[in-house]
Structure 1
Amino acid sequence: MAAITDIVEPVIDEQKTVKLAEFLDEWGDMLKDQVMQNMNPVYSLKAEDDWDAQARNKLQQLPRKPFESQTRKGILPVAKSFFKEDHKAAFLVGEMGTGKTFVSLAVAHLIPKTHKRILIQCPGHLVKKWIREAHDTIPGCNCINLNGKSLDLLIANKLTSTQPVGMEIWVMGKERAKLHFQRVPQRIAILGRQCCPECGRQITTDNENNKCIPCEHCKAPMWMADGTKARRYAKAEFIKRYFPTRNFFDLLILDEVHELKGGGTAQGQAMSCLIARSKKVLALSGTLMGGYSSNLFYLLWRMFPRQMKAGGFEYGRSMHFAERYGVVQRTYDSKDVNVSLNVASIGRKLGKSRVKEAPGISPLLLPDLLLEHSTFVRLADVNDALPEYEEIIVPVALEPDQQQPEYAQLSHDLIDATSAALARGDMRLMGKMIQSLLAYPDGCRNEEEITLEIAGRETVVASAPGLEIDLLPKEEKLLEIIAAEKKQGRKVAIFLEHTGTRDLIPVLEEKLQKNDIKPLVLRSQTVKPEHREDWLKKQVQTGLYHCLISNPNLVKTGLDLLEFPTIIFFQCGYSVFTLRQASRRSWRIGQDLPVRVFFMAYSKTMQEKALALMAQKMETSLAVEGELSDKGLAALSESENSMMYELAKALTGKVAVNDMSEAWTRYRQRELLSNLSMDDDQDVTITTTTTMSTTAGSTATITEKYVVRGTVYVKKAGAIAYVDNNRFDLKDGFVFWSGRKIGWYDRQGCGAINDKPIRIYRPEQCRHFVLAEIRQAA
């Protein structure tokens, strides 16, 4: 059935369209000044008061001192909103590696009470890590592991309310918080009639589906626990129902809160139960927004119900929220459209439509609901504590005799078959095409066959034979990189997507062992998630392994791979979220070696298009959110479905895709610029005033600010400047970044980087030169 789609969004005059990245480049500074003038933040570095001074003194009592950026960006803003402004809840949005765990524990340390009780809910495999971090951060705290099956501690607090002694930290996995017994309907028989066990009146409502429904008379629940199934009680439900005081916990910390976004899910209900017994709520996430505005709807309702109600929203009506803060897609039947177009009437209608939410978020969501309740910490804010980070693109050519011609034929056949299917309105083949073309170059030793059900029969639409190639080009390049890293004493983590049906781990394991490289294999069934960190640490300590092989989804949250300063993406898939998460596993606080991340892809294949598209998406997302967080950015700019459609368009030539290396370089350049042009003035700022005389005899005064961004080191053949661990080469009057010319400078040190004015000079009483960004003072 043919259909047309109408996406509700403003119509923009094409002649007036300006790319958002270019708009922010030109007007970003002015917009930032307007924001600072019109908003009154809870905390500002330039307006610190006695409360902030006392908080800083108290933070110095911790054995692990916070970085200044963590204090300014996370700890003080959240603590001040809680304990001085008396706000109920807040979001702490931070990239992986910024130390959200430490920041939240430091906030708990600032609670203005000697005896306090904290509850932390986190993914089950992170419970032990939270307890360890708590002991390291706050010595003398009493940590209680609630992730076991026992309810003894909860029952004890039900029977006799106890007061905390010192700081009590309760840690519970979100699975234990939500898992409950199953219910079965409960009735009693009175004179052969089905009656309510509470009021005894006859039940007349039919219950054909054997559902657990309340009594039609007294509204009492008519169900009981199913004794034949698992005997358990949701700990969050127990806390809400049986704990005596409303503010039993002084602070509730919800780790990875984006996983609790569901409306009627058990996880979401558990979140509501815990909030009901907590005085303050701190929600941690690196992916606050998951691409759809409704992802935030239930989180906001649970944390800020009064504000949501004041905004005119009703609980459960997420589409109303999406119409205001998201993108709504309406699909009409073509028959209704044709009829409507032939009606000469002002009030003609298109008929009924199918309404669903599409990916996209309105910028109004930030000022209306998020900014006053959120603080954002970027990895760039703590860059001074991190070593150098380098991303390297490794394009590899297909093997010319067998691999390249077979891939070309498979691609041709699949494109033709998919185009024919799409012409019939059948989209089922699109996903199969993408997966096959991504997978075949790496798994070409096995036969590839793609089928589609047509008229009730499975029909082969494309196929490729299995090839007898001993060492594939990408495998050869992988061995070369690992050998070079091994000589430097660096361990390597290898990530690949195909570890299930198209399992490539046995092949890679065999090739590595033949080359005297001992791999450590981590699979989903190797060890339980909650024991994964301890298991990995013990295996690494044996000294028997040179590299780790794993699916990136197993390590993207919770694991610190500090022992593996080199990461190689043998396969990247097409999920930007997973790629960004896993790529930063070793570039974290505590890493003292330079981090190198390699992205491998076969040239002139779907793998190259996927990697180039991801770079384009992330470049756009940096401009859209100002780099709020990598995970949130990736989610805003794409979902996996939209990425699949983009790949399909790229394959059929309907959308242009930049060269893979060029696209990635542009993304890294955009990431750098987002830090240079829109960051806070946290570096040394020097204000200069210049008075100019005109030919008419009048004078004009120009005031400029020199914002020092980095140090310049003079070398024999030029100079090197470091800005946020990004290296710039200065040579012969030009500025280079990653081998690409991005700016210039003259003999006086004046110049520009990406059209932003700079000055290279040596300040008074300073032994080295600095690179400063020149801004016009307000």
Structure 2
Amino acid sequence: MGAIHPQLDTPEQNADELHMSLAIFIDQFGEGLLEQVRRQNPPIYDPDLDTQTPVWRARQHVLDNLTRQPFEAQAHAVHAVVKLLLDHNEPAAVLNADMGTGKTMMAICVAALMQSTHPRTLIVSPPHLVYKWRREILATVPGAKVWILNGPDTLRKLLALRNALGLKTSKPEFFVLGRVRMRMGFHWKPAFLTRQVLQDGQRFRFACCPDCMEPIERENADGEMMPLSAEAAALMLADRRCKCSHCDSTLWTLIRAGKRIDSMHDLVLGALKQMPTIGDKTARKLLSIFGEDLLGGMLDDNVYEFLNLMDESGELVFSDRQAMRMERSLASFEFSIGEGGYQATEFIKRVRREVA
């Protein structure tokens, strides 16, 4: 009988032996890798160190006095965001967490900790969650005031609130805007004045900035800055929104679109017909029963209230099957009744610049 030799490992077997599961790899090398990451990117917030500081204890005292208390892990995330924004003067912070971890609660707590320096908080929310934000704010922050700005008159309300509330406040104030209201496009046109300028004994009419009245200039072929006529300025400013080179004021203004503005009845009718299971006949019937004001308010401010619409006898207008279909559609659908020609983000940016 010949000798029996042990079977040699194949290359495939050797390669398999070199593989290591992720769990084993992290167990063996995770601590060293984490330490290396900490050395290269030191954390802004360290619970073991920060919890010993007077600043942390003062902020924790604010959290302890909220009506609803965040969990310990949520509180650490809140402290980290506030430290990044206030102590490190960063313009923004990202709170990234899974669904159900309490992002709304943590964001409200961040706003509560910043009340001493930033008493007013602007919240941009999906339209169907604006009332959830209002509910949670009132249930968390004692004495808070909440305004819902989710309708076609968002800018009018902002202007009215600006005049009524003034620049300072002693109580926490929250302004909740539906996301679709903030991202609306807007129409604009060049904005400048014309003035007469005496040059070489002759009078010329040039375009100038409405704020500082300095001429709007453009560099010529010789590299010299030359004032522009009204016609030349209109052509130069028509393609892009520019600012004055002297005072940095905007040389454009917002305008309304030139399209025909539909009546409220037509706007609500069109919105109703976009809803699943509702055709033209049903939409007109609903309008005749409930009216354009009631239905328009529901569709614009809280579309989920529309699902529970009741008739005079207290019976639900829509069956369970209809309501389920519409609810599934509303998860990714946003209404815009009476869309205006102004963008809320541009308005807020200008107001903040004026206040500053």
Q: TM-score when scaled to structure 1? A: 0.26
Deviation at 1:92, TM superposition (A): 0.7
2:121 corresponds to 1:93: no
Structure with greater helix share of residues? 2
* Alignment-mate amino acid for residue 103 of structure 2: K
Counterparts of residues 163-312 of structure 1 (less than 5 Å): 163-179=168-184, 181-184=186-189, 196=207, 201=229, 203-204=231-232, 207=235, 211=239, 221=251, 225-226=255-256, 228-229=258-259
Once residues 557 and 117 of structure 1 are traced to their aligned partners in structure 2, the CA distance between those partners, rounded to angstroms, is 29
RMSD: 5.1
- Between the two proteins, what is the percent identity of the paired residues? 24
* Alignment-mate amino acid for residue 531 of structure 1: N
2:157 corresponds to 1:129: no
Partner SS state of residue 172, structure 1: strand
Structure 1 residues 196, 140: closer, same or farther in 2, change over 3 A?
A: same
Choose from 37, 53, 56 the match for 1:52.
56
Once residues 224 and 112 of structure 1 are traced to their aligned partners in structure 2, the CA distance between those partners, rounded to angstroms, is 33
Deviation at 1:75, TM superposition (A): 1.5
Once residues 206 and 163 of structure 1 are traced to their aligned partners in structure 2, the CA distance between those partners, rounded to angstroms, is 40
Choose from 67, 75, 82 the match for 2:85.
82
Partner SS state of residue 67, structure 2: coil
CA contact 2:127–2:179 (8 Å) conserved in 1: yes
Deviation at 1:162, TM superposition (A): 2.6
Deviation at 1:93, TM superposition (A): 0.7
Partner SS state of residue 45, structure 2: coil
In the other structure, the counterpart of 1:62 is 66
Once residues 89 and 20 of structure 1 are traced to their aligned partners in structure 2, the CA distance between those partners, rounded to angstroms, is 38
Choose from 32, 45, 65 the match for 1:43.
45
CA contact 1:196–1:215 (8 Å) conserved in 2: no
* Alignment-mate amino acid for residue 129 of structure 1: K
Choose from 91, 107, 110 the match for 2:110.
107
CA contact 1:114–1:166 (8 Å) conserved in 2: no
Partner SS state of residue 95, structure 1: coil
Once residues 217 and 69 of structure 1 are traced to their aligned partners in structure 2, the CA distance between those partners, rounded to angstroms, is 50
Deviation at 1:554, TM superposition (A): 4.4
Structure 1 residues 70, 553: closer, same or farther in 2, change over 3 A?
A: farther
Deviation at 1:209, TM superposition (A): 12
Q: Which has the higher contact order (CA 8 A, sep 6+)?
A: 2
Choose from 331, 335, 342 the match for 1:555.
331
Partner SS state of residue 65, structure 2: coil
In the other structure, the counterpart of 1:676 is none
Once residues 29 and 127 of structure 1 are traced to their aligned partners in structure 2, the CA distance between those partners, rounded to angstroms, is 43
Once residues 112 and 216 of structure 1 are traced to their aligned partners in structure 2, the CA distance between those partners, rounded to angstroms, is 36
Q: Deviations over 1:285-339 (max 9, x none)?
A: xxxxxxxxxxxxxxxxxxxxxxxxxxxxxxxxxxxxxxxxxxxxxxxxxxxxxxx
CA contact 1:203–1:216 (8 Å) conserved in 2: no
CA contact 1:115–1:164 (8 Å) conserved in 2: no
Once residues 242 and 143 of structure 2 are traced to their aligned partners in structure 1, the CA distance between those partners, rounded to angstroms, is 48
* Alignment-mate amino acid for residue 170 of structure 1: F
Partner SS state of residue 163, structure 1: coil
CA contact 2:194–2:206 (8 Å) conserved in 1: yes
Once residues 168 and 104 of structure 2 are traced to their aligned partners in structure 1, the CA distance between those partners, rounded to angstroms, is 25
Deviation at 1:18, TM superposition (A): 6.8
Once residues 215 and 165 of structure 1 are traced to their aligned partners in structure 2, the CA distance between those partners, rounded to angstroms, is 36
Q: TM-score when scaled to structure 2? A: 0.52
Partner SS state of residue 173, structure 2: strand
Deviation at 1:105, TM superposition (A): 0.7
Once residues 548 and 140 of structure 1 are traced to their aligned partners in structure 2, the CA distance between those partners, rounded to angstroms, is 37
Partner SS state of residue 122, structure 2: strand
Once residues 44 and 254 of structure 2 are traced to their aligned partners in structure 1, the CA distance between those partners, rounded to angstroms, is 49
Q: Deviations over 1:491-531 (max 9, x none)?
A: xxxxxxxxx9xx9x9xxxxxxxxxxxxxxxxxxxxx84852
CA contact 2:150–2:178 (8 Å) conserved in 1: yes
Partner SS state of residue 93, structure 1: coil
The count of corresponding residues between Structure 1 and Structure 2 is 249
CA contact 2:125–2:178 (8 Å) conserved in 1: yes
Partner SS state of residue 37, structure 2: helix
Gap regions ≥5 residues in structure 2: 1-14, 196-203, 210-214, 216-227, 262-273, 278-297, 335-356
Counterparts of residues 335-484 of structure 1 (less than 5 Å): none
Once residues 554 and 187 of structure 1 are traced to their aligned partners in structure 2, the CA distance between those partners, rounded to angstroms, is 44
Deviation at 1:112, TM superposition (A): 6.0
